[in-house]
């Protein structure tokens, strides 16, 4: 890990029993159990297999966009887009795969298969990619950019990415609350690359906020440094796939995140303030890349290059 603290996962809700749970109204024994005891009993009786993942939970209020998730309580930078101008991802995205549909089975297979990556270089990259936000992504993209960038030297780049981040959060909020999809590790003890917490388990999965942000940031960076567009976009795709490797998102969550990120980027390109900030950031980033900044760790870059040579995750 690179010392960057992963943010708390937003979009918290209380989980509901899956549709296949025992009927407490007709079973005398279950009527006598408390809810916690019933949860333990059901969990113990269910095999921890990828195909047995729980189904979506009831709705909850989305977090306020008026506070900075990196610095709770601090007023957030204003998003670029008015709420009415933010793409409606509920309309844009297809619903998550239905239970036992081919894509649902593919999701579960991807989760089960990637558990074998624990302890591998790809697992370590996924753990590094847990950190999000402008400074974290610049660090995680250091190998493809060719230098580690001190965020203090690129305030226009940080401002551009952090303001766009709020637009991305707003776009993912709708489908997360609408579909209320549970994460793949809920209901089993399979390894994941982060600490299990109740907040993470109770948060919504579709689409992946990390994949949305990582892909949109990759599109922005590719626009800033077009001669590096290919390697930047390959890294952006891998950043989203890290959520599958980590075990905290389904593959279809990540695919939906890329579509959401692309939609927001397209809307941002129509905003004159964003375009003006993009030009400021372009000059600033080019200056930083031309300067004598510290080189990224060669061992990290070698590990990353080898991992990125592997075929993309696919259905």
In angstroms, rounded to a whole number, what is the distance separating the alpha carbons of residues 115 and 14? 26
In angstroms, rounded to a whole number, what is the distance separating the alpha carbons of residues 243 and 197? 16
Q: Which of 165, 170, 210, 235 is catalytic?
A: 210
Q: Which of 237, 249, 258, 303 is catalytic?
A: 249
Helix (H, G, I), strand (E, B) or coil at 17: coil
DSSP collapsed to 3 states, 3-40: CCCCCCCCCECCCCCCCCCCCCCCCHHHHCCCHHHHHH
15 belongs to the catalytic site = no
Q: Which of 129, 167, 202, 253 is catalytic?
A: 253
DSSP collapsed to 3 states, 221-276: HHHHCHHHHHHHHHHHHHHHHHHHHHCCCCHHHHHHHHHHHHHHHHHHHCCHHHHH
Burial of 6 (0-12, 13-18, 19+ CB in 10 A): middle
Let me know: does 13 contact 202? Beta carbons within 8 Å.
yes
- Cis peptide leading into residue 207 (ω within 30°): yes
Let me know: does 57 contact 180? Beta carbons within 8 Å.
yes
Residue for token digits 């809920």?
186
253 belongs to the catalytic site = yes
99 belongs to the catalytic site = no
Q: Which of 108, 170, 180, 243 is catalytic?
A: 243
What φ, ψ does residue 248 adopt, rounded to 5°?
-110, 0
178 belongs to the catalytic site = no
Catalytic residues: 210, 243, 249, 253
């Amino acid at each position: 890990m690179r010392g960057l603290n992963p943010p708390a996962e937003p979009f918290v809700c209380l989980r509901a029993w899956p549709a296949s749970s025992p009927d407490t109204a007709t079973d005398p024994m279950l009527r006598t159990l408390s809810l916690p005891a019933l949860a333990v009993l059901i969990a113990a009786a269910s095999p921890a297999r990828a195909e047995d993942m729980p189904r979506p939970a009831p709705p909850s209020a989305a977090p306020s966009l008026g506070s900075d998730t990196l610095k709770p309580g601090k007023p957030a930078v204003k998003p670029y887009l008015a709420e009415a101008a933010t793409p409606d991802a509920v309309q844009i995205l297809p619903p998550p795969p239905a239970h036992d549909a081919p894509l649902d089975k593919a999701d579960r297979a991807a989760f089960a298969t990637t558990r074998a990556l624990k302890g591998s270089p790809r697992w370590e990259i996924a753990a590094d990619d847990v950190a999000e936000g402008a400074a974290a992504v610049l660090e995680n993209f250091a190998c493809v950019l060719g230098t580690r960038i001190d965020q203090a030297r690129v305030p226009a780049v940080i401002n551009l990415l952090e303001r766009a981040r709020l637009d991305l959060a707003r776009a993912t909020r709708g489908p997360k609350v609408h579909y209320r999809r549970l994460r793949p590790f809920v209901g089993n003890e399979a390894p994941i690359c982060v600490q299990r917490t109740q907040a993470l388990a109770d948060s919504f999965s579709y689409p992946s906020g990390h994949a949305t942000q990582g892909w949109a940031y990759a599109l922005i960076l590719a626009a800033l440094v077009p001669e590096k567009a290919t390697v930047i976009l390959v890294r952006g795709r891998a950043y989203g796939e890290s959520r599958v490797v980590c075990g905290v998102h389904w593959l279809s969550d990540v695919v939906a995140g890329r579509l959401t990120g692309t939609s927001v980027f397209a809307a941002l390109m129509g905003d004159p303030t964003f375009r003006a900030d993009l030009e400021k950031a372009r000059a600033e980033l080019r200056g930083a890349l031309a300067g004598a900044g510290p080189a990224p760790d060669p061992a990290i870059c070698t590990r990353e290059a080898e991992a990125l040579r592997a075929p993309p995750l696919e259905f």
